[in-house]
């Protein structure tokens, strides 16, 4: 019973951290895409 509780807690913790990591990764990639598009727009405007 104790082992099951510990194992369940660990798997839950891993699940939470993995969800956080995925969200963090999505936010970072989204920010990168935004900055890239902004840089492209800026370059195009500079060229014009």
User: Per residue in 10-39, pLDDT tens?
Assistant: 777 777 888 888 889 899 888 888 888 888
Q: For residue 46, name the pLDDT band (cuts at 50, 70, 90).
A: confident
Whole-angstrom distance, CA of residue 28 vs CA of residue 25: 5
Predicted pLDDT of residue 6: 62
Quote the Cα angle for 1-3-12, to 5°: 105
Query: The domain containing residue 39 runs over which residues?
Result: 1-48
Q: Is pLDDT larger for residue 25 or for residue 44?
A: 25
What integer pLDDT is reported at residue 19 of this predicted model?
84
Secondary-structure breakdown of the chain: helix, strand, coil percentages, each rounded to the nearest 5: 95, 0, 5
Please give the tally of structural domains in the chain.
Answer: 1
* DSSP code of residue 48: -
């Amino acid at each position: 019973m104790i082992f099951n509780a510990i194992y369940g807690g660990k798997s839950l913790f891993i699940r939470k951290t993995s969800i956080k990591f995925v969200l963090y990764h999505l936010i970072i990639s989204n920010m990168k895409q935004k900055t890239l598009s902004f840089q492209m727009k800026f370059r195009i405007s500079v060229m014009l």
